[in-house]
Every structure is written in structure tokens, then in C-alpha cells.
Amino acid sequence: MKTSGYYHIWLIGPDSNYIMRLCHRLSLNPDYLVRRFATIALALAQRATATAAPNALILDSDGQEGLPPRLLRKLRERLPAAPMFVLANEPSPDLETTLLSQGINQFIVKDLQSPERLWQALTDARHPAAPPAPATPNEAAAGMLLGQHASMRHVHELIAKAARTNITVSVSGETGTGKELVAQAIHAQSTRAGQPFVAINMAAIPRDLLESELFGHEKGAFTGAVARRIGRFEEATGGTLFLDEVADLELVLQAKLLRVLQERAVTRLGGTQPVPFDVRLVVATHRNLAAEVAAGRFREDLYYRLLGLPIELPPLRQRGQDIMLLAEHFMSSFSKLNQLPPRPFSPAARQRLLGHQFPGNVRELKAVVELAAVLADGPQIEPQDIPFRTAPHPTETPAVPSGSTTLVFPSLREQTLAIMQDSLLLTNGDVVAAANRLRVGRSTLYRLIQSGHLILP
């Protein structure tokens, strides 16, 4: 049983001289109570029967068992609040990155100074400094990253770790989960907070203009280049550059981006002089980059250059009661901004929100809640006040009173495809003319035609 006042440490590792010396070193602190387990499996078995949880865990990655991902994940799930420290015989950047993404707090290489580093790490974990308040554009945007689910707590831990260094961060997750807000939070908590934060969406810029947008151009570099223009890399110097939807880059531009990142300098279009830059890079995509590499659509060398510290944002449908935490925040913020009376959600309305799959994730929830605040007439939000803008998932069973009307609007993707299809009809199937009308690259239309999303008249 846990004795009041003690800081319980579980040390998981083989019976070695180093581990025994480490146990002795930690026991010198009268407040520490150290228990040793040979394997993670034995520690999990003890956790299943023990009434008290450890305050901290130290794991030796070089034992006979090593650190099996399945057992490590189970250990983190059962002990979500306990800081974990991993010891290793040799430095391993790949292993360190993997472990940090799995919730490990610190990777420590065993040497003469490692016991002191571990001692200091435990002291910091026991008496943590107050975290800096994240600077976000506004209260509504800040709410996009709210969450008490274990997956979101893990995201916030990774944000804090990323902010302490200049490591490249790759953010993945479905559309609407808040990838740019993660980049903003990392920037706001870092030493670069007072410098520029520059964001660019690769998918939103015509492909023939993207190179100039990223790297800049000199006067006369191409038709219409009437003056020198610095690119986003130069614009973000000293701060953070966020490249959204990086998987949309064409292979030719991927090669140029790789060269720029390797040389830490850009050469403007039409120029000859390299211009150095200093940026923290955060990239994001809703696609699986590893699958894109396997399919030959993304360069493997660029993939490893950009991977850095991976942060995966969970879809809203997997976050349980976070849905209501976010909904109440959005309702409060919108009502205050628009001088509307704040309305609670009725039990039936809560059931309706919790039963929806939210393919648009947090962005969809925010739009739904704000519209409900406008439509509601009664003292609280009822199910009929919640008009989902996407079709309900086949398995959901929203509680809607009989006789009520549910507004269902086409998604943004559906509307975009409809506009593109209309342009093809108006141009009698001339893809180049349709692309010019839409101001998109014709390769975009060809790709959608080949995939069957668009049909030539």
C-alpha cells in the first residue's frame, strides 16, 4: 500500500550492475520508494492487483524483453499520468523519436552522468514548472484544442516537448481536427513566439505559382513578375513555417523542397544568390505519408526529412465526452460574441451530438453548435435545433422528435465537385478551359476525371 509522503518509482529492467547502482542512487532520497521489475509484463501484473499506482517509471530499453510496443502502449494506458523515462546504452535518434511519439517523457543514454540527469528529471517531474499559456488567435480557436480524453492529453504533452526544441514536427489527422492550431500552439510556447508564424496551404495554391510562393522570385523571372517578391521561407525567418497538405506537392517540387531543407537556403526564381533562412518547420497532411511513399507519390528521402516528431490528432468521434466539452465551449464563446443568451444542451440534444460521427471533426461541431445557437428559440438547445451539415452515419440513431425537420446540406467537397462538373459542361469537356475558369491546375481536373469523381460530357 502506498505510504503517504513517499514518491513511488518503478524501475523496470534486468538484473545488472547499472540497474542495481541506480536503485541505490535513487534510494538516497528518503522521499523515494523504489521497486524493481525485470519486465514490463511483471509490472503490468503488479499494477492489476496493486491498490496504489507509481508516481514515475524508469525503463531500461536494453533488457532481454526490450520495449515491446504493445506492452509499452498498455503500460501508458494503465498509467496515463506517470512520467516515463527510458534508459539506453547508445544514442538512437529513430528510437528516441518513436518513443517520444508513444508518450515517453525523456530518453536518457547511460553514461557516468546519466544517474544525475535522471535524478534531475525526476525532480522536475515531481515539481513541474507552470507551463506557458498557449497564445492562440482567439478564444474560439483556442477551444479547438480543448480536450480531456487521453489521446488529447498526449497531444498536449507532445506539443510541449516540441516547443522546447527546434525539431521539425509532422502533424497528421483528418480534415477539421485542428492541425494548424497545433502548429500555432507549438510556435506560441517556443522561444520563437515573438517571431513570424507563416502558414501556407499547398492544396489551395495553383501548382504553377507554388514554387514562387515558397521560394520567392526576382523581378522579370516570368511574365507578370514586375518586382522582387520574397517567399514564405524568407518571410518566416526567425519564426515558424507551417506547410499544410504537404502531400499535395508534385514530385518535381518535392525535390526542390528537399534541396532547400538540406542547404538551409533558398534561391529565388530568376535569381542566382542563395538566401539563408532560419525557420522551425511544421508540416501537416490528412493523408498517410508512408502510404504515399509506398505508392511512389512522395519522395522517401523527403519523408524522413519531414517526419521529425510526429503528432497524430485523433478524430472527434473517438474522443467521447470531449464532444460535449467542446460544444459547451463553442456555445459559450459564440453566445458571448453575439450577445445571445447562453443555452445549455438538453439531454436529448446531448444524445444527438454524442451519436453523430462528425466526419468534419471539430470544425463541423463548431459550425453545428453556432448554427444551433441562432436557430434555438427555447431556454435550452433541443435536438431539432441541431442541423447536421453532413449526412448522418448509417449506425447513428439521433434522438429527433417526430415531426421535426433535420436540415442536411451538401459537404464542401460535394459542392466543389459540383462546380467543377458544371465548368466541364459549360466548356463542352475542354479540361484546359475549365481549369482556367476555375483557376486551378488542369492536373487537378485530370486526376478527378481518372478517379471517376468528374465525368467528361
- 0.85 surpassed by pTM: no
Side chain identity at 447, as an amino acid letter?
A: R
Which H or E element spans position 85? strand 84-88
Shortest CA distance to 263 belongs to which of 215, 218, 230, 216? 215
Rounded-to-integer distance, Cα 305 and Cα 317, Å? 31
CA atoms of 281 and 426, how far apart (whole Å): 42
Residue found by looking up cell 536518457 in the block: 108
- Pairing assessment for the beta strands 106-109 and 84-88 based on DSSP bridges: parallel
Grid coordinates of 64: 532481454
Number of structural domains (the chain) is 4
Residue 262 falls inside a structural domain: yes
**Is 399 part of any domain?**
no
Q: What is the pLDDT of residue 407?
A: 42
What 3-state DSSP class applies to 61?
coil
CA-wise closest residue to 3 among 52, 45, 57: 52
Question: pLDDT tens across 198-238, in order?
Answer: 999 988 888 778 888 899 888 888 777 778 888 899 999 99
Let me know if residue 395 belongs to a domain: no
pLDDT tens sequence across 239-266: 999 999 999 999 999 999 999 999 999 9
The answer to whether 284 and 179 have CB atoms below 8 angstroms apart is yes
Among all chains, which residue has been given the C-alpha cell 511574365? 223
Q: Do 79 and 52 touch, CB atoms closer than 8 A?
A: no
186: domain CATH number is 3.40.50.300
DSSP β-bridge partners for residue 88: 109
Which is it for strands 309-312 and 169-172: parallel, antiparallel or unpaired?
Answer: parallel
Q: How far is CA 15 from CA 10, 45, 47, in A?
A: 14, 19, 20
Provide the 10 A C-beta neighbour count for residue 423.
20
Claim to verify: residue 53 and residue 181 sit in the same structural domain: no
Same domain, 265 and 379: no
pLDDT for position 51: 62
pLDDT band at 305 (very low <50, low <70, confident <90, very high): very high
Q: What is the mean pLDDT of the chain?
A: 82
pLDDT in tens, 444-453: 777 777 666 7
Give bridge partners of residue 265 from the DSSP assignment.
276
Claim to verify: residue 300 and residue 338 sit in the same structural domain: no
Confidence of residue 457 (pLDDT cuts 50, 70, 90): low
Amino acid 406: pLDDT: 42
131 in a domain, yes or no? Answer: no
CATH of the domain at 64: 3.40.50.2300
Segment 418-430 mean pLDDT = 76
- Can you give the pLDDT at residue 431? 82
Q: Which of 126, 150, 184 is the last residue in one of the domains? A: 126
Q: What are phi and psi of 358, to 5 degrees?
A: 50, 65
Last residue of a domain, one of 76, 95, 126: 126
Of residues 128 and 423, which shows the higher confidence score? 423
With a cut of 90, say whether residue 281 has pLDDT above it: yes
Give residue 440's domain range: 412-450
Residue 2 resides in a domain:
no
**Position 410 pLDDT exceeds 60:** no
Are 232 and 336 contained in the same domain?
A: no
Assigned domain for 211 exists:
yes
**292 in the same domain as 179:** yes
For the chain, what percent of residues have pLDDT higher than 90? 36
Last residue of a domain, one of 385, 404, 439: 385
Q: Which residue has the cell 446531448?
A: 350
Provide the pLDDT for residue 264.
92
Is residue 455 a part of any domain in this protein? Answer: no
Distance from the Cα of residue 19 to its chain's centroid? 36
CA dihedral 185, 191, 196, 200 (to 10 degrees): -40
